């Protein structure tokens, strides 16, 4: 019998759900639940979470947002047809007003206000009071118009409102001023020389002809007559208000998508005459189609806008857009356009609004998880398969319902379906899995702490000081792949095992093992407790105060085996971090047939 070098696991590599677990690397787990892989590749039990407030009933949290308005932080969320502000100190909720009870509710900030898309209407909140319905910016559609009409076209009609303004240059002769539209709904404001005039007293209106007739001729001037009127096209406003997703900012414009009536269309905000992009201005005819399939997400990367759809191999599933300009031959205006070009015809994205940018590379969901990386060829990107080690878990899932978040503060990409969360520590390239008792509906990092809304009307927040999942014990299980110590033709004899754990006030792990000869073993417990008045349990009181890593030696009896698998468990309310496991092995004769 010969002595082999001891095998040491001091670098845990995460889970690998390969069908052939005998091929796993040392340190990979064939199964893992509620153990996390730290940034130094140690195995640590997942910490817990607790609810921020009592349930609002059996309703989904439809969306969340956290950020500052006028320098003051706000945490808002939607649930059961209302928008609420949550106070992180008192944990009280303030009702900000009624919205549609639809999922998802998208909330984004711009111009020092929060904007809310509920799939039915469009609201804003300025940081105080109740939410307001976004009426829409009134565009100035033409300037320097003669009384007979025409003039220089300026701003496009706004999808959100039928109201628009036209500026005329009076000639001290005409009394009748012709608007750009006929059969209008109303004339709202009339000004001459900046002074508002009164209907009937100063002017009359012909809605059919779209004219305003002055009692006194307006004097000669440049843009000295200003008329604002309304003509509503009932099909316009819903193009914006029925959008469900915010596509971020690209080239100083805001982008929306997810209108179920225009699934392949992206809508872009407009630049006002003040030279700013306005989230209340969505120019008519500025939107554009991207192929024929549903747009599922839009992200900005460097100087490009990336767009994903649910397309198939008959048409591109991933696109990029640039900004280009041309001069309109009729008006002489410089017009900005955003043409699209195909990137990939086989890989798109199926979970609306769930693309994450990780280290400047988009992570998308198709039949698995893909990372889009740039190549040396301009505007070319390769889709790299990132979910190989967990793909067997993902194959049978409806990934169109997946939720994702980049928990940037911890370097973790998370994908959730149901009550299971697959976590990718992209700092060390390791996957691990969390199994929680609640069903997330949305995720948000608030001051570095991960929060998630639930389907039963509350919000949970993870905290390293918490030992349970909102009162439920966390069962952490890690299973090593079957390992043959590099010689599958020789018998092995294992008599000892050394385990090193990090000392906490109270910590333990339970260790069992399986072999090719038996799937059961004794349970070996490595436990440690530091003296602490808050946690003293006099039934097992000791005066240990050593904060250094704690090694444990166990005698085991694994004889004449070929394959060996360790199982590490913690199912109590304490925590645990495994630093290393060392297994001295002796080899004997060749493996014999056992049938």
Average pLDDT over residues 132-156: 96
Instruction: Give residue 311's pLDDT.
Output: 86
Q: Is the pLDDT of residue 430 over 90?
A: yes
Q: Is the pLDDT of residue 438 over 70?
A: yes
- Opening angle at CA 222, ends 220 and 226, nearest 5: 95
Are 68 and 74 in contact, with CB atoms under 8 Å apart? yes
Instruction: Give residue 329's pLDDT.
Output: 65
Q: Which residues pair with 250 in a beta bridge?
A: 253
Q: How far apart are CA 104 and CA 64, in angstroms?
A: 10
Which strands sit side by side in the sheet containing 203-206, from one edge to the other? 176-178, 211-214, 203-206
Average pLDDT over residues 320-337: 76
Q: How far apart are CA 219 and CA 592, in angstroms?
A: 110
**Around 472, how many Cα atoms within 13 Å sit in the side-chain half-sphere?**
9
Structure tokens at 580: 């290393």
Q: Choose among 402, 403, 438: nearest CA to 419.
A: 438
Instruction: Give residue 546's pLDDT.
Output: 61
Q: Is the pLDDT of residue 537 over 70?
A: no
The three-state secondary structure class of 539 is helix
pLDDT band at 549 (very low <50, low <70, confident <90, very high): confident
What's the 3-state SS for 36-72? EECCCCCEEECCEEEECCCCCCCCCEEEEEEEEECCE
Q: What is the phi/psi pair of residue 409, to 5°? A: -60, -25
Instruction: Give residue 588's pLDDT.
Output: 85
Instruction: Give residue 3's pLDDT.
Output: 63
Q: Is the pLDDT of residue 148 over 80?
A: yes
Instruction: Give residue 376's pLDDT.
Output: 47
Structure tokens at 311: 């397309």
Q: Look-up: residue for tokens 């596509």? A: 247
Q: Beta 140-145 vs 163-168: how paired, if at all?
A: parallel
Are 190 and 222 in contact, with CB atoms under 8 Å apart? no
Instruction: Give residue 336's pLDDT.
Output: 81
What is the DSSP code (8-state) at residue 238?
Answer: H
pTM: 0.92
Are 104 and 70 in contact, with CB atoms under 8 Å apart? no
| Least confident stretch, 327-341, 432-446, 526-540 | 526-540
| Other Cβ atoms within 10 Å of 251 Cβ, number | 16
Q: Is the pLDDT of residue 377 over 50?
A: no
Instruction: Give residue 565's pLDDT.
Output: 96
Q: Choose among 506, 555, 500, 556: nearest CA to 535.
A: 506
Omega before residue 104 within 30° of 0, cis:
yes
Higher-confidence residue of 301 and 442: namely 442
- Sheet strands (E) in 242-323: 245-250, 253-257, 265-268, 270-271, 277-278, 288-289, 295-301, 304-309, 318-321
Q: How far apart are CA 544 and CA 532, in angstroms?
A: 10
* Cβ within 8 Å of residue 304, ≥6 positions away: 320, 321, 322, 379
pLDDT band at 333 (very low <50, low <70, confident <90, very high): low
Are 43 and 37 in contact, with CB atoms under 8 Å apart? yes
Q: How far apart are CA 70 and CA 36, in angstroms?
A: 38
Average pLDDT over residues 226-254: 97
pLDDT band at 420 (very low <50, low <70, confident <90, very high): very high
Instruction: Give residue 542's pLDDT.
Output: 53
Q: How far apart are CA 74 and CA 126, in angstroms?
A: 11
C-alpha to C-alpha distances, 54 to 51, 57, 119, 595, nearest whole angstrom? 7, 9, 27, 60
The chain-wide mean pLDDT, for the chain, equals: 93
Are 182 and 208 in contact, with CB atoms under 8 Å apart? yes
C-alpha to C-alpha distances, 116 to 98, 128, 132, 151, nearest whole angstrom? 11, 15, 10, 36
pLDDT band at 18 (very low <50, low <70, confident <90, very high): confident
Q: Choose among 501, 522, 489: nearest CA to 578.
A: 501
| pLDDT tens track for 28-83 | 999 999 999 999 999 999 999 999 999 999 999 999 999 999 999 999 999 999 99
Are 298 and 306 in contact, with CB atoms under 8 Å apart? yes
Instruction: Give residue 44's pLDDT.
Output: 98
pLDDT band at 359 (very low <50, low <70, confident <90, very high): very high
Instruction: Give residue 194's pLDDT.
Output: 97
Are 67 and 109 in contact, with CB atoms under 8 Å apart? yes
Give the rounded percent of residues in the chain with a pLDDT score beyond 70.
Answer: 94
Average pLDDT over residues 93-104: 97
- Sheet strands (E) in 419-471: 420-425, 430-435, 440-446, 449-454, 459-463, 468-469
Counted residue by residue, the chain has a size of: 595
Q: How far apart are CA 460 and CA 58, in angstroms?
A: 15
Radius of gyration of the chain (CA): 32
The three-state secondary structure class of 351 is coil
Instruction: Give residue 554's pLDDT.
Output: 96
Q: Look-up: residue for tokens 């060829």? A: 377
Instruction: Give residue 1's pLDDT.
Output: 52
C-alpha to C-alpha distances, 359 to 169, 375, 413, 419, nearest whole angstrom? 55, 15, 11, 27
Locate all alpha helices (DSSP H) within 478-553, ordered by sequence.
Answer: none
Question: Hey, what's the torsion of the CAs at 145, 151, 154, 157, to 10 degrees?
Answer: 90
């Amino acid at each position: 019998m010969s002595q082999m070098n001891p095998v040491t696991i001091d670098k845990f590599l995460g889970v690998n759900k390969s069908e052939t677990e005998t091929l796993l690397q040392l340190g990979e787990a064939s199964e893992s639940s509620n153990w996390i892989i730290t940034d130094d590749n140690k195995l640590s039990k997942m910490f817990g979470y607790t609810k921020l407030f009592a349930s609002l009933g059996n309703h989904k949290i439809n969306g969340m947002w956290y950020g500052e308005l006028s320098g003051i932080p706000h945490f808002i969320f939607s649930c059961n047809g209302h928008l609420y502000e949550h106070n992180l100190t008192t944990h009280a909720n303030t009702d900000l007003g009624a919205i549609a009870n639809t999922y998802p509710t998208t909330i984004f900030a711009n111009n020092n206000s929060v904007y809310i898309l509920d799939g039915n209407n469009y609201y804003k909140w300025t940081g105080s009071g109740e939410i307001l319905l976004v009426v829409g910016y009134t565009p100035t559609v033409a300037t320097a118009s003669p009384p007979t009409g025409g003039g220089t076209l300026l701003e496009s009609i706004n999808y959100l409102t039928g109201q628009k303004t036209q500026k005329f240059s009076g000639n001290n002769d005409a009394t009748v001023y012709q608007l750009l539209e006929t059969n209008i709904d109303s004339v709202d404001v009339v000004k001459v020389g900046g002074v508002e005039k009164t209907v009937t007293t100063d002017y009359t209106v012909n809605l059919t002809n779209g004219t305003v007739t002055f009692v006194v001729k307006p004097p000669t001037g440049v843009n000295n007559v200003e008329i604002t009127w309304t003509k509503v096209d009932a099909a316009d406003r819903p193009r914006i208000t029925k959008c469900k997703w915010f596509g971020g900012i690209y080239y100083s414009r805001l982008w929306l998508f997810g209108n179920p009536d225009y699934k392949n269309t992206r809508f872009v905000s407009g630049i006002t005459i003040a030279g700013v992009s306005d989230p209340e201005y969505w120019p008519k005819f500025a939107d554009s189609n991207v192929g024929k399939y549903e747009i599922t997400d839009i992200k900005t990367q460097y100087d490009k806008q990336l767009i994903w759809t649910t397309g198939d191999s008959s048409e591109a599933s991933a696109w990029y857009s640039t900004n280009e300009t041309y001069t309109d031959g009729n008006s002489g205006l410089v017009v900005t356009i955003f043409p699209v070009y195909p990137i990939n015809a086989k890989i798109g994205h199926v979970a609306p609004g769930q693309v994450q940018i990780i280290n400047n590379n988009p992570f998308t969901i198709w039949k698995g998880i893909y990372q889009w990386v740039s190549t040396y060829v301009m505007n070319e990107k390769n889709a790299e398969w990132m979910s190989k080690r967990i793909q067997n878990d993902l194959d049978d899932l409806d990934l169109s319902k997946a939720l994702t978040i980049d928990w940037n503060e911890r370097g973790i990409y998370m994908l959730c379906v149901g009550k299971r969360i697959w976590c990718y520590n992209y700092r060390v390239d390791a996957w691990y899995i969390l199994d929680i008792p609640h069903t997330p509906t949305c995720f948000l990092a608030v001051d570095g702490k991960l929060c998630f809304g639930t389907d039963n009307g509350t919000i949970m927040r993870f905290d390293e000081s918490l030992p349970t999942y909102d009162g439920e014990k966390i069962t952490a299980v890690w299973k090593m792949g079957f390992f043959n110590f590099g010689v599958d033709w020789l018998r092995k004899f294992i008599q000892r095992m050394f385990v090193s754990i990090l000392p906490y006030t109270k910590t333990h792990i339970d260790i069992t093992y399986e072999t090719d000869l038996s799937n059961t073993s004794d349970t070996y417990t490595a436990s440690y407790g530091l003296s602490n008045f808050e946690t003293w349990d006099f039934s097992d009181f000791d005066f240990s105060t050593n904060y250094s890593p704690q090694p444990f030696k166990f005698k085991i009896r694994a004889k004449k085996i070929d394959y060996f698998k360790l199982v590490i468990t913690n199912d109590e309310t304490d925590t645990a971090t495994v630093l290393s496991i060392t297994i001295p092995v002796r080899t004997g004769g060749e493996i014999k047939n056992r049938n």
